Structure 1
C-alpha cells in the first residue's frame, strides 16, 4: 500500500498510535454502473478510497485518488456524505481513524485498471449487480447513489 510521506513522517514520531486523518471515497458513476476496485490488502471490493494530503481539497483528493488507483479521469459532482470510520488497525500495528468525505464523481474518460498496486482489479459494476461489500462501504454507496442533493452526516458505528 502506498502510504503518503506525511503519514510516514508522523509515524516516525508517534509509532503506531492512532492517527486522525481526512479521507475520501470516490463513487464514480457512468450511466447505470459504478466503478469498484478490489483492494490488494483485503481482497474486498470498494469504491476508490484514499487519504487527503495536507492542504489538499477533499474533492481534489477524490479526483487524484481515482486517477492513481483506477486510471480514470473524473469530475466531482457533489458531496454525498461525511462520516467517521471506526478505528482501523493495519497488519503492522498502525492505527488510524478517518473523517471520510464521500463524493459522487462523474466519469469523463479512461478504462479502469489497477494503476498503482493498491488494488488487484478495477472494473464497472451494474448498480443492480454489486458484489458483496461491508456495511460501511454499502452506506457510502447508498448515500452517493440516492440522488439526494444534501450531504448525509453519518455517525460512528461504535
Structure 2
C-alpha cells in the first residue's frame, strides 16, 4: 500500500493542473517573433512563469476590456493605442499595475503567483525585454474569453 501513495499523489497533482483556452500553433509562433506593433500602436506581453505547485489560474486583463486566464507558462500579447494601460490580476487577491506604452514600444509584464496565508496571491511586475522575451519563448499563448 505504501508503494502506491507516491503514484496516487502524482496523479492527484497532475489532475489539479490548470486548463485555459490556448491559441493555435500559428498564433503562438507569431507571438514569439516579437514583431513591432502596427504604426501608431504599442504592445504589452503579459506572461506567467511557473510550474505545477501553483497550478491555479490567474485572471489577468485590462480594466474595462480584454482579459484571459493564465496558467503556468502561458502568455498573451495586447496591442493598441499608446498611453497608460491599467492591468489587473485576480487570484485570491487583486493586484493592479499601470504601464505607460509609447508608440512602437513593446513592454513585458510578469504575473507572479505566490502561496499566501489566505491562498494564492498574484502580483504584477514589469521586466526588462530580454527577461520577458526569454519567458515568452518558454510559454504558450492563450486566447481571451
With the shorter chain as reference, the TM-score category is under 0.3
For the pair shown, the structure with the greater C-alpha radius of gyration is 2
Q: TM-score, normalised by structure 2?
A: 0.28
Which TM-score applies when normalising by structure 1? 0.26
